[in-house]
Amino acid sequence: MTGFAEALKNAGDLASAQIAASLDGTQGPIREAMLYATTGGKGLRAFLVMESARLHGIEPQNAAPSAAAIEALHAYSLVHDDLPCMDDDDLRRGQPTVHRKWDDATAVLAGDALQTLAFELVTQTGCPDAARLRLITTLAQASGVRGMVGGQALDIAAETAAAPLTLAEISVLQAGKTGALIEWAATAGPHMAQADTCALGQYARDLGLAFQITDDILDVEGDAATVGKAVGKDAHAGKATFVSLLGLEGAKARAQTLVTSACDVLSAYGTQADTLREAAEFVVARKS
Amino acid sequence: MTGFAEALKNAGDLASAQIAASLDGTQGPIREAMLYATTGGKGLRAFLVMESARLHGIEPQNAAPSAAAIEALHAYSLVHDDLPCMDDDDLRRGQPTVHRKWDDATAVLAGDALQTLAFELVTQTGCPDAARLRLITTLAQASGVRGMVGGQALDIAAETAAAPLTLAEISVLQAGKTGALIEWAATAGPHMAQADTCALGQYARDLGLAFQITDDILDVEGDAATVGKAVGKDAHAGKATFVSLLGLEGAKARAQTLVTSACDVLSAYGTQADTLREAAEFVVARKS
CATH of the domain at A75: 1.10.600.10
Residue B134 C-beta-side C-alpha neighbours within 13 Å? 19
Q: A20-30: per-residue pLDDT in tens?
A: 999 998 989 99
Compute CA A106 distance to the chain's CA centroid, rounded to the nearest angstrom: 22
Find, in chain B, the residue whose alpha carbon is nearest to that of A86: B105
Pairwise CB contact (< 8 Å): B112 & A80: yes
pLDDT of A162 reads: 85
- From the number of C-beta atoms within 10 Å of its C-beta (0-12, 13-18, 19+), residue B57 rates as exposed
- If you average pLDDT over residues B229-247, what whole number do you get? 82
- Number of continuous H segments (helices) and E segments (strands) in chain B: 16, 2
3-state secondary structure of A4: helix
Pairwise CB contact (< 8 Å): A140 & B23: no
Cα angle B273, B279, B280; round to 5: 95
Question: Domain range for residue B196?
Answer: 3-285
Residue ranges in chain A whose pLDDT is less than 50: none
pLDDT of A117 reads: 98
Residues in chain A with CB shorter than 8 Å from the CB of B112 are 76, 80, 111-112, 115, 149
pLDDT of B231 reads: 72
Asked if B237 has any chain A CB less than 8 Å from its own CB, the reply is no
- If you average pLDDT over residues B259-267, what whole number do you get? 97
Q: B157-209: per-residue pLDDT in tens?
A: 888 888 889 999 999 999 999 999 999 999 999 999 999 999 999 999 999 99
d(CA A212, CA B101) in angstroms, rounded, equals 33
The answer, yes or no, to whether residue B230 has pLDDT greater than 80, is no
Asked if B220 has any chain A CB less than 8 Å from its own CB, the reply is no
Residues in chain B with CB shorter than 8 Å from the CB of A129 are 129-130, 133
pLDDT of B222 reads: 79
Which residues fall within 8 angstroms of residue A18, CB to CB, at 6 or more apart? A64, A65, A67, A68, A121
3-state secondary structure of B38: coil
Closest approach of A88 to chain B, Cα-based (Å):
11
Q: Report the run of H or E that residue B78 belongs to, with start and end.
A: helix B60-81
Pairwise CB contact (< 8 Å): A152 & B109: yes
The answer, yes or no, to whether residue B71 has pLDDT greater than 80, is yes
Residues in chain B with CB shorter than 8 Å from the CB of A120 are 137, 140-141, 144
Least CB–CB distance from B105: residue in A132, A146, A156? A156
Closest approach of A4 to chain B, Cα-based (Å):
32
Pairwise CB contact (< 8 Å): B123 & A117: no
Asked if A140 has any chain B CB less than 8 Å from its own CB, the reply is yes
Q: How many domains does chain B have?
A: 1
Least CB–CB distance from B113: residue in A83, A105, A144? A144
Q: B126-164: per-residue pLDDT in tens?
A: 999 999 999 999 999 999 999 999 999 998 888 888 888
Residues in chain B with CB shorter than 8 Å from the CB of A146 are 26
Across A224-238, B89-103, B256-270, least confident range = A224-238
Residues in chain A with CB shorter than 8 Å from the CB of B85 are 103-105, 108
pLDDT of A1 reads: 61
Q: B20-47: per-residue pLDDT in tens?
A: 999 998 989 999 999 999 998 999 999 9
pLDDT of B121 reads: 98
Asked if B177 has any chain A CB less than 8 Å from its own CB, the reply is no
Least CB–CB distance from B80: residue in A30, A108, A149? A108
Q: Report the run of H or E that residue B287 belongs to, with start and end.
A: none
Which residues fall within 8 angstroms of residue B148, CB to CB, at 6 or more apart? B77, B142, B176, B177, B180, B181
Scan residues 16-75 of A and list those with Cβ closer than 8 Å to B.
23, 26, 28-31, 34
CA A155 vs CA A159, A165, A214, A234, A285: distances in Å: 7, 10, 17, 11, 25
ipTM, two decimals: 0.94
Q: A179-190: per-residue pLDDT in tens?
A: 999 999 999 999
Across B59-63, B231-235, B249-253, least confident range = B231-235
CB atoms within 10 A of CB A3: 10
| Axis crossing angle, helix A29-37 with helix A60-81, rounded to the nearest 10 | 110
Pairwise CB contact (< 8 Å): B149 & A113: yes
The answer, yes or no, to whether residue B1 has pLDDT greater than 70, is no
Give percent of chain B with pLDDT exceeding 70.
Answer: 99
